[in-house]
Each structure stands twice: as structure tokens, then as C-alpha cells.
Amino acid sequence: MAGADEDVSITREGRAGVIRLTRPKALNALTHPMCCAIDAALIAWQTDPQVHLVLIEAEGERAFCAGGDIAAIHAQGMRGDYAPARTFWREEYRMNARLFEYPKPVVSLMQGFVMGGGVGLGCHVGHRVVCESTRMAMPECGIGLIPDVGGTFLLACAPGRLGEYLGTTGARMAPEDAILAGFADHFVPQAAWPALRAALVETGRPDAVTKAAAMPPEGQLKALRPQIDRAFAGPDLAAIRAALTQAESGFATDTLAALDRASPLSAAATLALLQAVRRAPSLRHALTLEYRFTHRALQHADFLEGIRAQIIDKDRNPRWRHAGAEPSAEEVAAMLAPLGDEELTFEEESA
């Protein structure tokens, strides 16, 4: 069967349930209907004895999934209609949790760009495969949001201070980098993917992934770890900027420039989120905290302005609320405060 206006194909092949994103011209960006179709399939396959394994893949060479479809969210937000975005995030986050907790093996084959919503779809499963073309990132601070879809959980679990670096700068990870940071498990050359896919579908067993795995090309993060850990050890943006300024290296200069492109409120909230998730590391906890920010983002953060600058007008010149300054701890806390009756819940997980 196909769903979400043919933007995602949902089929059963051999012993596998196959979810295939089919809008390559849009870099397979996730829409709300696509998330609903994927989640419905996951629920149905949990108890289907003919489905031994779930395979998540995408059409096209350029992207597995480059994020969520945010242009529509911008149009709704400019009209003051915040409910559709909040509903989308709520249901997407529940799908992210379902993937993480899924009772059957799930394999994701992630080529090209894997960003934002693509990380939420492909990186919470048990067997995460990358290839030569994979470029993974959580670039949300650059559009006035925070790393969401469970991204703060992955970032909080990354070694050293890689989470702070990747989360605030949106730096892209090559295959080895993604494995080092805990966003992927195995590198399989893309030329070997057809044989791997055939084995997964035929056997319904994920061990074909480890058999096909190879050494990835050398990335950058391993060599940068000492500089990253020193620069991002501080408790807030001011301390991180001070450390980078004092370092006076090419890495420090480039990283300061990346931080300058980020929304100060988003970057500060990202640091606070990582600290909170490390204190109580669980995906559901991370998603709950992320939802508090995204629920408020259209009204009280830089999200609409970030989309305008990057996606709509493309002037790359966002006018951030805290341009040149660091938000106060109180402002950050307000974005992450409990939502009362609007708090994210996971009842559907056991429905």
C-alpha cells in the first residue's frame, strides 16, 4: 500500500515491512501525513507475524531525509495558526519514541543528507547504516529551533562535548563522524546496499548488516575531539565563546562563525537541554523537554524569523531576538517550563 499522497511507500516484501520515502525532489522532507502513515504501519506490524523486520529507506541519491517540511509551518505560523505545527510535532515525537522502543528489529539505510526529522526517523532504530554520501546534522539552531525529534538524547549521549558542538553549530557529520557521535552503527558501501537489502528482505534478520559492514572513510571529529572538549566544556554560551576566542585557531574561528549564525536563544536552550537530558537520560524525557520548546517556538522564539531568512526570502540574514547577546537563564527556563495540560504524552504508545 502507499500513503501520504504517494510521498511514502509502505509495503511488505518477503519477511520485511518496508517504509520508503518517495519525494526525492523535496529531499524526502517529512510531512505530517507521512509521519501518520509511518506510525500507522509501525503499529500494524508490531503484531503481524509475517513481518520479522522493518526496513526504512528513501528514494534518490541526495537525501535519506533532510528534515521536516517547514515552509507550510511558516505559512501557518504567520497567520497565527500554531495548532497544526504543534500537532505535527506531537505525533512525530510519538513516532520517534515508537521506533526507539520497537519490539522487532528496525534497519535504516541512510544516504545523502540526514538532518532534523531524518535523524528522528533513521537514528533511533537498532541498526543504523550509513554510506559514502551520508552527511548528517542537527542544524535547527540556524533556523531558530532546537535539535528535536529526540536529537538532544543522541547529542547528550555523544562522547565528551561533541553534543554541545554538533547541537549548537549544526556541523555536518561524515559517516565515521556519525558513528563516533552515536548517530549511526555501521558503514556499508552503497554499492553493497542492493545485496544487503535483498538479504534483509529474504531473511528478516538484521545480522546481514554486520556481515556487510566495512571501515568508513576517515572523518574529522576524532581529530577535533580535544579542541571541541576544551572549547565546549563551559556551562553557557558566554563561556564557550570565551574559550573559542582564547584558542585562536582555525577551528575556533570557524566555530565562532557557526555560533554567530545560530539563534542565541536556540543555542542557549540547546545547552540547557543537553544538561537536563544527561541528568536523566531517556528518549521520552528528551522528547518531552524538546516539545516544551517547539510548542512555544512559533510565538516566543526565533523560529518564524529563521525560516523566513533561510527558506522563504533566503537572504540568510535573520534578525534574532537576542542578536549579539546571550539570553538570560530565566528566558531559557521559560521556554523549557512544563506545559500543563499541553505537555507531551505517549498514551498512543500502548494504545
Domains (ranges, CATH) in the chain? 2-350 (3.90.226.10)
Query: Can you say whether the dihedral through the CA atoms of 58, 121, 156, 146 is positive or negative?
Result: positive
Does pTM top 0.85 for this prediction? Answer: yes
Q: Are 144 and 296 in contact (CB under 8 A)?
A: no
pLDDT at 1: 44
- pLDDT tens-place string over residues 11-54: 999 999 999 999 999 999 999 999 999 999 999 999 999 999 99
- Decide if 77 is catalytic: no
pLDDT band at residue 348 under the 50/70/90 scheme: low
- Phi, psi of 62, rounded to the nearest 5 degrees: -80, -30
- Decide if 68 is catalytic: yes
Q: Mean of the pLDDT values across residues 192-203?
A: 98
Catalytic residue among 140, 176, 177, 185: 140
Q: Mean of the pLDDT values across residues 227-245?
A: 96
> Which of 8-12, 30-34, 127-131, 324-328 shows the lowest per-residue confidence on average (mean pLDDT)?
324-328
pLDDT band at residue 170 under the 50/70/90 scheme: very high
- pLDDT tens-place string over residues 135-153: 999 999 999 999 999 999 9
Catalytic residue among 69, 148, 185, 302: 148
Cell numbers given for 290 = 524538546
Catalytic residue among 17, 112, 117, 142: 117
Q: Are 202 and 195 in contact (CB under 8 A)?
A: no
pLDDT band at residue 5 under the 50/70/90 scheme: low
Tell me how far apart the alpha carbons of residues 64 and 344 are, in angstroms, rounded to a whole number.
27
Q: Mean of the pLDDT values across residues 162-181?
A: 98
- Decide if 117 is catalytic: yes
pLDDT band at residue 324 under the 50/70/90 scheme: confident
Tell me how far apart the alpha carbons of residues 180 and 173 are, in angstroms, rounded to a whole number.
9
Tell me how far apart the alpha carbons of residues 194 and 15 are, in angstroms, rounded to a whole number.
16
Catalytic residue among 7, 17, 67, 68: 68
Return the H-helix or E-strand segment holding 130. strand 127-130
Residue 347: DSSP 8-state: G
First to last CA, the chain: 23
